[in-house]
A and B are shown apart, each in its own frame.
Chain A
Amino acid sequence: MNLVTKMLLTLTVIGIISGGFLMKINEWAEPKIDEHRKTATEEAIFKVQQKAKSYEKVNVDKELYKVYDENKNPIGFALPFVGNGFQGKIRVIIGIADDLEKLTGIQVLEQVETPGLGTKIVEDPSKKGNEFWFPNQFIDLSVKPEIKWIKGIAPDEPNEVEAITGATISSKSLIQIINNGIEYLQSLRDGGKI
């Protein structure tokens, strides 16, 4: 057998065996991974829409869920939305009431902000007992005309949020992403799609 044939044969055999192995493993893993993704989304929806009892995917170009209370009345939407943070993408799920005027809550799903500073948009371990003070500010927040941020003083307008000291850009970016998300929902509503 000459060398070229031997080389080709070796790589082909190794490739086929590896491929076969991975196919089997993937068959086993894929449903489990999908399951995890689904539970994570479900948990997030019920977290930002506390009164929701059921939800349903809306057929639009982005991922969007319509949520219902126990009497099957639509009470609002849950919209996972992505945008730029300080260092990378921030993925946040926005809970909003059916009239698109008030938020019901938000939760950051993925982020790569600076540990200890920007990560306070998720959780602030330095404030014992009130770790979620930043995301909690978005509960019942008015989004008209848009969400604004202030720094150093307590917010007094219904559409204002206090930014995190040392992580103004992370706070600002998150608010920008949420405003964009609401704008997207508004455009859907204006187009009669939701």
Chain B
Amino acid sequence: MSKKVSVMGEYIKGLWRNNPIFKQVLGMCPTLAVTTSALNGIAMALATTFVLFFSSTIISFIRKLIPSQVRIASYIVIVATFVTIVDLVMKAQFPELSKALGPYIPLIVVNCIILGRAEAFASKNNVGRSMLDALGMGSGFLIALVMLGSIRELLGTGTILGFQVMPNFYEPWLIMILPAGAFLTLGSLMGFFSFLSMRRKRLLMNTEIKRDIEKKKPVIVNSAEV
């Protein structure tokens, strides 16, 4: 099946059509927990993309060597190695960010996006396609997290990436940076995107129906006359 998808398509599909958050609804825990600000969202998404990229690459590389009975165990060890690397590097180089993200960096190990892509894609496709797929999924995750983080930060504190955006008289909606705000924002965004794709589908259908009707018109008219 993957042969039908063009090389660019492997990357593009993660951005929108198979977006891990809005379409596949994977990896909800970090999505809801860390997106209190745009910066946290970016950091989380970059850390996840790093792990996703390298674990997908390696898993795809050794996919034929791993017996299928121990594949999940092997994947977890590989993923956990990269997560620990990210955690250590962040603690050493960006202590502030590491403090803000707290336990959610080690929790990338059990992020469904990574294991999901390893099982569904990297274990069945070649290295190049797996890399592109991982990058695409990572970018899709980044887009979703930045969107969530920016909306929550804007409404919850009146800033974006720490810069004051809202006018001074704006009273921040505290609920947006509390856990409830994460659910409200994610729900609204998902609803909005579903509405968009449904409308697109309906428009497509309508034009098809119209075309069909126009084609069949003479037949219908004839039968009515008869």
Contact = CB atoms under 8 A, between A and B. Distances in A.
Q: Is the interface of A mostly helix, strand, loop or mixed?
A: helix
Contact of B174 (A21, A22, A26, A115): A115
Q: Which 9 A-B pairs have the closest CB atoms?
A: A32-B92, A18-B81, A29-B88, A116-B174, A29-B92, A36-B95, A115-B177, A7-B70, A33-B91
A153 interface: no
A36 B80 CA distance: 24
A15 B91 CA distance: 23
Interface residues of A, number: 23
Given A6-B67, A10-B70, A21-B85, A117 B77 contact: no
How many B residues touch the partner, as a band? 20 to 34
B74 A22 contact: no
Contacts of A33: 88, 91-92, 95
Interface string A158-180: 00000000000000000000000
Contact of A115 (B36, B73, B88, B93): B36
A116 B93 CA distance: 28
B91 A36 contact: yes
Interface string A31-58: 0110010001000000000000000000
7 contacts: A3-B67, A21-B85, A22-B81, A25-B84, A32-B91, A40-B95, A125-B157
A11 B77 contact: yes
Contacts of B84: 22, 25
B117 to A, nearest CB: 18
Interface of B: 36, 65-67, 69-70, 73-74, 77-78, 80-81, 84-85, 88-89, 91-93, 95, 156-157, 172, 174, 177-178
Interface string A8-20: 0011001100100
A42 to B, nearest CB: 14
Nearest to A6: B67
